[in-house]
Structure 1
Amino acid sequence: MENSGADILAAQGWRIKQNPSAEEGGRALRLPPGATLLDLACGTGEMLCTWSRDHGVTGTGVDISTNHIERARARAVELGVAGNVTFVHGDAAGFVAAEKVDVAACIGATWIGQGVAGTVELLGRSLRPGGLMLIGEPFWREDPPDEAAVRGSHAEQRSDFADLPGLVGSFGELGWDLVEMVLADEDSWDRYVAAQWLTVRTWLDENPGDELAARFREELDTAPLNHVRYGRRYLGWGVFALKKR
């Protein structure tokens, strides 16, 4: 499988596409059938595919990983929505839809715009007037007390994330109204990260001689403890729906 180790590492990072907030967010937004969606850094396409199946959404997902795009296309076939969704292999940074869409989303990958502000600006280029923007972003539930807590919560430095009031306030400063949000709780965090641990362990069992095996072994040795000690307490996650003022 091409770049199998790198793809698993990406899944261990912030490509949070199969998170519990995405499914709940689809219901909360009450998307009309036929709504068009652009999903930048779409990962394995789970959100776009399930929303197409459950809400009649059509649209396009873009991701730089060939492995993710292959899996997204397979998932579309599996859910019977291959005729309604398209997956494009390419760099989501700078990608603008040829036609304006009803919903423009970036869930857990705001690095494509070098942060929230740049990602909001990028998504806005593809959004029709009156359309809905979806941003998925981590935030500090509590101020991490030290460097160990910061790094144990998947951050390089405390300033990587805002707290929830700071994040919500930034949307207004950028000229957008927050009209809905779905936040993960501790249990949904557990379900998400535990699935990653199982994925990594399965890969290690199947690829013991791979050059990246030692790297993933180290990840599995530390990730569960970091989660229960730091991430579960200090790090929050949400999907935020915005409309232009």
Structure 2
Amino acid sequence: MDFLMAGHSQFKNIMHRKGAQDARRARQFAKLIREITVSAKTGLPDPAANPRLRAACAAARQANMPRDTIERAIKKAAGGAGGDDYVEVRYEGYGPSGIAIIVEALTDNRNRTASDVRAAFSKHGGALGETNSVAFMFDRIGLIRYPTAAASADDMLEAAIEAGADDVQSTDEGHEIICAVENFFAVRDAMEQKFGEPEAAKLDWRPTTTTPLDEEAARSVMKLIDALEESDDVQSVYANFEIPDDVMQALSA
């Protein structure tokens, strides 16, 4: 009987985990569709002529979004159907252990989003700050990522510099090309012509310094970040912490 119960609870865990993964995937798709909608409305509804839309479509493909879902979202945005008028907003604040956090959102209701974000901060030991209260601790950059197999570190560096990038960091995990925001689309297109579609290409907030967290602090900070990411309006969350390997292992145990 005990064995059956254990098996049953494990099955429940698997189902729960699958349910959580499905929910996360649905949330990710919703966020990507929102970005596609905004990109298609702020420029031409043609990825070839709209760099931001091209980036949004590439991100959607990376997340295995079906092509017809992507095309439907572009068509809908181009037709101006529905009340999907989103504005871009940014929130800044501090999490547990004084961690600096930047939250980017696309919203059709600023009051709802502000109140969701404020509630997440206060419930999880953080505090929402004024605009620019933490942004000075981050650099705004363009980031393009390729897998290690795409090219040797030397070839990647040479191509990136030629394309107008500022730096390349090559590790066992892959190549990260860093460039100025204003050069992002040009660098990405040049790299794509040479090495194919990147694994990821986006504008990023990169912390200038990071704070290592112990297990307890890491759990608190991750709870806040999870709560923020659960909001449909929140597109991205950036923070200036790092989790040492031993703490990461303890967290995932």
- After TM superposition, the score normalised by the length of structure 1 is 0.29
Higher share of residues assigned helix: 2
